[in-house]
Structure 1
Amino acid sequence: MAEVQAVKDSDTIHLIGHLLSIRFNPQMADVWNIGLNLALRISDLLSIRFEDIHGSRLIIRESKTGKLANIQLNTKTLEHISRIQAQYPSHIYLFQSHRCQQIKHTAPKPISRRAVSMAFQQVGKEVNIILGTHSMRKTRGYFLYQATKDIARVMKMLRHSSEGVTLRYIGITQDELDKDFVSLEL
């Protein structure tokens, strides 16, 4: 299986959100839009409960690393969350499965990672990008790196411990680093 990619231009980011909304449902577009802004692994993103949101902060323990993620929510993310909460005031999870509500006596669950993955793969084919659940996290890291050129900052945001892993993760290749050195003359 090919490694998923970061989306490297804003127009494609918006197109993916639009396609997810019309090809699947607005909830998939919300996963994409909120996921881009939080840079969490998909398992952590889908497990967000409304009780994890404290004003303008999200506080959760990452399942893979056990590290505490204390994230300041930006305006766009807060708007998405407020809309979802107003639309589904009885939901426990930010991305709660609507299928579970149709089955009586079933505890609420978030939508599945598999459903998100399949939706992203399908839209990725349409826009000719290898798109997956990690693409949101990679895209956020890529754009932060392009804006700051500060790999330590990107590592901290993604909670990585190696510069090499982070550069490879966000799709920064040696060729791109070489271009930066050639184009910036002091």
Structure 2
Amino acid sequence: MNFVQPIRDPVVIEGIKVYLKVRSLRNYLFFCFGIYSGLRVSDLRLLKAGMVRGTHVNMKEQKNKHRKRFIIHPGIKDELDRYIADMHDDDFLFPSRQAKKKTRLRDQPFDRSTAYKMLNQAARKFDLREIGCHTMRKTWGYQLYMQDPRNLALLMEMYGHSDPAITLRYIGVTQDMMDAAIMRLGAPQIAMSRTHFQ
């Protein structure tokens, strides 16, 4: 299994937002919800229009059944309100554009594989590697940590981690520290005379 990375550069994050927005408001809002909430893709895809009509979202996470409440980022609120204006409260926020193959049901949430394809298509445009469905969740954590390392305890709580080392590794900070440490290593200084090689 590949270890996916967060998107570290805020300029690239903004670029991906613009790239997605001109192609699909649905995909743009999906990405924004991911990087502004820290939700898993499995939770994002099950959001419904009625859940996002206020200023906060109240929900239960699929994986661990924890109750979660978070604010909708004000930077996307106006676009979100326009997007859901004609939706019913029980409509999925991020519906599939096709009927499901096995059940033939319409108006179902889009599949995890759709999220993966969308993220990877955008990542290729920005020359990003090691991108996957957890990238948005990790990007959220990475940006919060870089904004203020004191957010580590909050991130541990949000991710359900019991050890700071697990959280730092998950959001890619441990990798950053390892890379920086290697880069600080000096090139070995070899001070030998020619006579040593004769």
TM over 0.5: yes
Residue correspondence of structure 1 range 50-129 to structure 2 within 5 A: 50-53=49-52, 55-86=54-85, 88-90=86-88, 92-100=91-99, 106-129=105-128
Deviation at 1:11? 0.9
| Contact preservation (8 Å) 2:21, 2:27 | yes
Once the two structures are superposed, what CA deviation does each residue of 1:77-101 show, in whole Å capped at 9, x if it has no partner? 4233212112x42471111223249
Which amino acid letter does the alignment assign opposite residue 155 of structure 2? V
Q: Percent identity?
A: 28
| Contact preservation (8 Å) 1:6, 1:142 | yes
In 2, the alpha carbon distance for the partners of 1:35 and 1:80 equals 16
Match of 2:17 in 1: 17
Mind listing any 5+ residue stretches in structure 1 that lack a counterpart? Answer: 180-186
Give the match's secondary structure for 1:71.
strand
| Contact preservation (8 Å) 2:16, 2:122 | yes
Say if 2:146 is the partner of 1:153. no
Deviation at 1:44? 0.2
C-alpha distance 83-98 of structure 1, shift in aligned 2 (>3 A) = same
Deviation at 1:54? 6.0
Q: Once superposed, which parts of structure 1, at least 4 consecutive aligned residues long, lie more than 4 Å away?
A: none
Match of 2:140 in 1: 140
In 2, the alpha carbon distance for the partners of 1:13 and 1:81 equals 19
C-alpha distance 169-80 of structure 1, shift in aligned 2 (>3 A) = farther
Equivalent residue pairs, number: 175
Give the match's secondary structure for 1:99.
coil
Deviation at 1:173? 1.5
In 1, the alpha carbon distance for the partners of 2:117 and 2:13 equals 17
| Contact preservation (8 Å) 2:96, 2:109 | yes
Deviation at 1:175? 5.7
Give the match's secondary structure for 1:173.
helix
Deviation at 1:141? 0.5
| Contact preservation (8 Å) 1:34, 1:80 | no
Once the two structures are superposed, what CA deviation does each residue of 1:110-158 show, in whole Å capped at 9, x if it has no partner? 1111111012112212322222221111111011111111211221233
TM-score by length of 1: 0.82
| Contact preservation (8 Å) 2:59, 2:68 | yes
Cα RMSD, aligned residues only:
2.6
Instruction: Choose 1 or 2 for highest CA Rg.
Output: 2
Segment of structure 1 superposing worse, 90-99 or 42-51: 90-99
